Chains A and B, each alone.
Chain A
């Protein structure tokens, strides 16, 4: 999984590199277009196209039927019933491609989340770094801060969980690696103080399939580490277009759908 994550992480870093200094929406549109093409090809390969086409025709016929027999209340309700039945059949036909395409898209979305999901840290603005230890661990936790990052306040002990938290302040823009000593071992955590589109990892977690699937931006903690999570509290980001801000995922959904519907004719796909 780590290998896959490294590969995907590198690919997305490379893919989004040209858009790093541009408004985030630009890169997202390009990625959405590429994803739409992939979606269309995947949908075409995994869906039952004749059946999708047939059921969509039936649905359209139902809509015309309501219009045609609009003086006959019984006919209207019959047509509506038929449309609902066909709509369910359509949903059923979409289940197979959904299942096939879900896995790659979860991986893609997870990667994009770390590029578009968080605001970059601002210089001279504090951020909370939290280290959580395994239950029952009594290891001592200390920080080794690189140049350009200072401590804003003394360490705070967490009463409910074993571990500690610090308020850090980046003094200059850039990518940093924070050293964290947990007992005898030394761990690291990335910190990015940069407003451009780049990979930001809010969590570094203990190894595990799900952790790596959902948080692929940083390598997992060593398996025998006393620490089970290192968390840096980046702010969640909203992408704005003409003053209308939404979570990037919603934009991604809209863009991929719109582009896929726009391009379906070129690829000969019935959606």
Chain B
């Protein structure tokens, strides 16, 4: 309604109110607006007073209980420990932007305390690095070596961090079957993160989107899960493309094409969601998709079941709620963003991976369970997917550079709000928040900062400065943060690893084939994914994941042939051949060294480690084919995908950064040092299993175990 008309109507209505306010029979019920306000407000007030009263009543008992159950008296040196993580922030780029005066707040923080490169983990991968950050230990103690592990029985890849089981027992009830147990969802990361240990000493921690926290840890604090949280389909992020174009081809990485029909200005199709385990055979849940096109103004009204969204051509929508009806009164809810990418001639609609709805999560994505709901109520819907930024859609050129940047920066904004809200609430304890955009933007736009990168096809794009832009955004976050940090607070701004170019892919499975360590099945061409063409009865070594090489060891792998006694010799042989492996076409060293994991780590889960962590040179990485288990592909090939920067190289080449508001007492800090330092600063002696060292000199008397 127009403002003036609204005001006039309001004045008239106010007059009527004055008339009706005169006592009479009807004055007992002055109108539904008041009724709604009265009922809702009364409920809110009643609930608030009740909860506050109950909290106050229980509070002394909680304090007493905590005092009684506390392991020992501690004497914290700090009030708050704040970690702001910028995944993948690179020291070389940081130095360059500081020198150019583009990061004044980082510079201020460095002058206030210190700025040093931060040693990363072997391998320099986020799931490994952040697990080491959290537990203060190397991979052999937390058991995360890569994104993927291999199933020793089938040799197929499995997610290294989480096990999601299925339900076996059901009660049949007509057309439905009721699960009689909950599916197993288990975090495979071992060891104790520092926030759990802080909690054991009654110190609160808020942990926002730190990788490898799905399902969430249970501790004294709050946590929102991150990397490895699946989408609603149970994958690590499957985007959808509803299209009238041919459906005879599937996307190679992470996407799914959905055929739709166009009839004039109307488009119809079906969105297939997660499996319905309440029905025999687990048929997929479905939502009808309808679009009404308005070609005159390049817009459309798109309906997903009961939910409607107005779209402009090539503009991303806000979050759209997707509700799948599994059974009467049983709904599975997700959220996604959509974008119509073409509407004339053909119709195509891109949909981001369907994230778990944080307000009604279908899986445990936070601790306590209502924490994700609380955040959603506070700031609206937000992405819950582990790898939330849809890198695959840009890799497959389903979306453009600017769309990916928008997705990434929107998620960054969501994260920023979570972080500062949590910081405002935190009076004592720790807060850790990881921002992923730096990593994702460098992965996708590195081709624009390196001259001659094979993935830069010279196209017009407004994302050539995207990397600088994200560093400047980080700097602003640091600036805001510095304004909120007090003298009793310890602030660390850090990254888990740096970054390098990814110009050339290396297919080490091909190298193993060429060198007689890997054999294909009779007649197989080696073009099948996931090493399905490999003859395991003759294969000694294989690569899986982004950094590891495994041996096919007798007694360990189901069809192992390498005798345990021969492992050391084989290691020497292969390491010798790989060291300094050259890419003759480019006259460069592709592999600096293959690191023997038994020399890198020690710990109870060492037997699960790959035999080697491959130390690629800058510019090289495992090739796309090798990563998906295709053997018969070139040993070296140009990387022409948008994913053009990476950090899966020799970890010594890509340290992270550490900024701290206090000067640290050692010169070569490492990511594994943060957890013991956090404990020490709160007066707790770091446990023996932590490999890291404390960054500050300590008076031992002030800490206790």
Interface residues of A, Cβ cutoff 8 Å to B? 35, 39, 42-43, 46-47, 56-77, 80, 83-84, 87, 90-91, 94-103, 105-106, 109-110, 113, 117, 209-210, 213-214, 247, 249, 252-253, 256-257, 260-261, 271
Contacts and interface: CB of A to CB of B under 8 A. Distances in A.
B31 A105 contact: yes
The 3 closest A-B pairs by CB, nearest first: A98-B33, A94-B37, A97-B33
A257 B204 contact: no
5 contacts: A42-B32, A65-B374, A94-B33, A101-B33, A257-B39
Contact of A47 (B25, B31, B33, B52): B33
B422 to A, nearest CB: 10
Given A63-B47, A102-B16, A102-B17, A257 B55 contact: no
A22 B234 CA distance: 56
A109 B13 contact: no
Interface in B17-53: 17, 19-20, 22, 24-26, 28-37, 39-41, 44-45, 47-48, 51-52
Contacts of B59: 70-71, 73
A71 B33 contact: no
B25 A94 contact: no
Contacts of B51: 63, 66-67
Given A58-B377, A96-B10, A97-B33, A66 B20 contact: no
A66 B48 contact: yes
Contacts of B41: 87, 90-91
B178 interface: no
B146 to A, nearest CB: 34
Contacts of A99: 10, 13-14, 16-17, 31, 33
Contacts of B368: 68
A103 B20 CA distance: 7
A207 B580 CA distance: 106
Given A95-B33, A98-B34, A59 B378 contact: no
A36 B39 CA distance: 14
A223 to B, nearest CB: 21
B39 A214 contact: no
B24 A214 contact: yes
B30 A210 contact: no
A100 B11 CA distance: 10
A113 B37 CA distance: 23
Question: Which applies to chain B's interface (DSSP): helix, strand, loop or mixed?
Answer: helix
A98 B39 CA distance: 13
Given A64-B377, A76-B52, A76-B56, 18 more contacts: A60-B377, A61-B374, A61-B378, A62-B48, A64-B371, A64-B374, A70-B58, A70-B59, A72-B427, A75-B425, A90-B40, A98-B33, A101-B31, A102-B16, A110-B25, A117-B25, A210-B19, A256-B35
Contacts of A84: 45, 48
Contacts of A214: 24-26
Contacts of B34: 94, 98, 102
A100 B28 contact: no
Question: Which applies to chain A's interface (DSSP): helix, strand, loop or mixed?
Answer: helix
A96 B13 CA distance: 8
A66 B370 contact: no
Contacts of B373: 64
Contacts of B14: 99
A256 B31 CA distance: 11
A68 B31 contact: no
Contact of A98 (B9, B30, B48, B222): B30
Contacts of B63: 71
Contact of B25 (A64, A96, A109, A257): A109
A271 B20 contact: no
A43 B33 contact: yes
B66 interface: yes
B111 interface: no
Contact of A210 (B22, B29, B204, B378): B22
A76 B53 CA distance: 10
A177 B62 CA distance: 74
A77 B49 CA distance: 11
Nearest to A57: B377
Contacts of B427: 72, 74-75
A71 B66 CA distance: 10
Contacts of B371: 64, 68
B10 A94 contact: no
Given A42-B32, A99-B16, A71 B204 contact: yes
A269 to B, nearest CB: 10
Nearest to B58: A70
A98 B31 CA distance: 6
Contacts of B37: 90-91, 94-95, 98
Contact of B13 (A57, A100, A105): A100
A46 B12 CA distance: 14
Contacts of A43: 32-33, 36
Given A70-B55, A109-B26, A101 B222 contact: no
A58 B376 CA distance: 10
Interface string B265-301: 0000000000000000000000000000000000000
Contacts of A74: 427
B375 to A, nearest CB: 8
Nearest to A64: B374
Contacts of B19: 209-210, 213
